[in-house]
Amino acid sequence: MKNLLLLFLLAGLVFGLSQFLMEKNQKDLQEKTITHLTLWDLPPKSLPLERQLWEETVQSFEKANPDIQVEGVERQYQPEEFVAVMAGGKGPDVVKVWTGAIQTLANLGFLEPVDSYLKGWSQADFIKQVLMDSTKVGDFHYGVPADSYFLFLLYRKDLFTKAGLNPDNPPAKWDDLVADARALTHRDEGQCGLGLVPKTWYFQDFVWQAGGEMTKTGPAGQTEAAFDEPKAVTALDFWKSLRWKYNVLEPDVLMPETELLHLFALGKVAMILGTEKDLPALVSRYKIDPQTIGIAPLPAGPAGPAAHLSGDIYIINANTTPEKKAAAWKWIAFELDPQTQVWKWGRMHDLNMPIYPGAFSSAVTLTNIPGYQRVQDAIATARVEPHVNGWPQVRDLLDEDPLEEVLLDPDSDPQRLLLANAKEADMDIFSKK
């Protein structure tokens, strides 16, 4: 009897062990079939609405793709940090990076070409060509535009009204910009008409508006500086006049952009150059009524309107596994799918989140979004930063010398400054690329 009982116990143990091993093997097999996709850009908990929208998007994606599990990381693209992480083999499988970084990152071998994916993607033909061109290095595309934004004129409608200006009639030309900025400048009240940051990010648009270029192709096919030519000098002369002739700029012309945005929020600066991406910060951080903020195209220069187009690009890590590359593309295609985009706008509207049209893919015509047409119209005269090797270094060079000097020294010579920097760019940067 005891032997029989022992036999039953042993049989039970064997059966239980076999069940355990079977379930474990099934779980291990299931785990092996799941692709774990690492994504940066997870909004922090300090932004609960953005976090909620992101989590809802992930839930929808994982429901449509049960073999993929998204692992979000509260980290965003920062140039030097990103290069170090990617070089160390710890980079994300997919992330959004600034369009101006594509050239450098592709040359470093960090980015997977996406041309094979684009061939079978129904939305590829609907992305604006100027945006797709910004993802191309040589013969290959190294990403897909996730959104777009332009440099606009942001202005305080309430200050326009107070100054006797029509808030529905923002400055359309350089002369208008000067006239309105002078009317909006009240030094005794600590108010200035225009905030201007001495960076190439803003200056290049004025060069284009004057009919100039930042770079050109030399006789031997090499890249050369063009910002020393007369039309570019006209743009820098205009900047200098804003500071010294008309005295409409902020007193501290070297203040950080975040501080200038703060002064704009306080009503101490009536107009600034910015993008629609500044609106969420103004509304959520500074609690500004969005109805008091006007958005207008940059005033046209002697050659007409021009504003640079930028945005974030979805890229795939070239050094991740083939399975993760395929999963990364599925995420990108899902995020940019028209149905997802329309759903995203609806949820942002339901959650009372600040909405700017550039947050949506250019592959989708969301005609029901207020202001979307403004973005579509801006594309007609959109420009992109020079897409050439060495441009980031040249941009830094201009930031540190001529752009700051004309706003700090009333006796500065724009022509001499630009000529000297163009020579330095050609000799020390472009000739070595």
Residue 141's pLDDT band (cuts 50, 70, 90) = very high
pLDDT of 103 reads: 85
Q: Inform me whether the pLDDT recorded for 379 exceeds 50.
A: yes
Residue 115's pLDDT band (cuts 50, 70, 90) = very high
pLDDT of 29 reads: 45
- Candidate from 99-103, 248-252, 273-277, 362-366 with smallest mean pLDDT: 362-366
Residue 368's pLDDT band (cuts 50, 70, 90) = low
- Mean pLDDT (the chain) is 87
**Contact (Cβ atoms closer than 8 angstroms) between residue 351 and residue 52:** yes
pLDDT of 357 reads: 61
Q: Inform me whether the pLDDT recorded for 433 exceeds 70.
A: no
Q: Which of 209, 143, 223 is nearest to 425 (CA)?
A: 223
Q: How far apart are CA 295 and CA 146, in angstroms?
A: 22
Structure tokens at 421: 């920097």
Residue spans of the domains in the chain: they are: 33-145+310-380, 150-306+387-432
Average pLDDT over residues 59-86: 93
pLDDT of 391 reads: 86
Query: How is 120-135 classified by DSSP, letter by letter?
Result: T-TTGGGS-HHHHHTT
Based on DSSP, count helices (H) and strands (E) in the chain, helices before strands: 18, 16
pLDDT of 386 reads: 85
Q: How far apart are CA 375 and CA 357, in angstroms?
A: 7
pLDDT of 99 reads: 84
Share of the chain above pLDDT 90, in %: 58
Q: How far apart are CA 162 and CA 184, in angstroms?
A: 9
Average pLDDT over residues 127-148: 88
Q: Inform me whether the pLDDT recorded for 4 exceeds 70.
A: no
Q: 12-54 pLDDT, tens per residue?
A: 555 555 565 556 555 554 455 899 999 999 998 888 888 999 9
pLDDT of 308 reads: 84
Share of the chain above pLDDT 70, in %: 87
pLDDT of 147 reads: 83
Structure tokens at 190: 């600590």
Average pLDDT over residues 252-260: 93
Average pLDDT over residues 138-157: 89
Compute how many other C-beta atoms are within 10 angstroms of the C-beta atom of residue 124. Answer: 16
Structure tokens at 62: 């994982």
Q: How far apart are CA 103 and CA 109, in angstroms?
A: 10
Tokens 């890229």 found at = 315
Q: Inform me whether the pLDDT recorded for 381 exceeds 80.
A: no
Q: How far apart are CA 149 and CA 151, in angstroms?
A: 7
* CATH code that applies to domain 33-145+310-380: 3.40.190.10
* CATH code that applies to domain 150-306+387-432: 3.40.190.10
pLDDT of 23 reads: 60
- Candidate from 83-87, 106-110, 348-352 with smallest mean pLDDT: 348-352
Q: How far apart are CA 98 and CA 280, in angstroms?
A: 19
Q: 307-322 pLDDT, tens per residue?
A: 887 788 999 999 999 9
106's CB contacts (< 8 A; 6+ apart) are 137, 140, 142
Q: Inform me whether the pLDDT recorded for 350 exceeds 70.
A: yes
- Amino acid letter for position 183: A
SS3 67: coil
Residue 373's pLDDT band (cuts 50, 70, 90) = low
User: Which H helix or E strand runs over 264?
Assistant: helix 257-266
Judge whether 33-145+310-380 and 150-306+387-432 match in fold.
yes
Q: Which of the listed ranges 23-37, 232-246, 370-384 does the model predict with the highest average pLDDT?
A: 232-246
Residue 117's pLDDT band (cuts 50, 70, 90) = very high
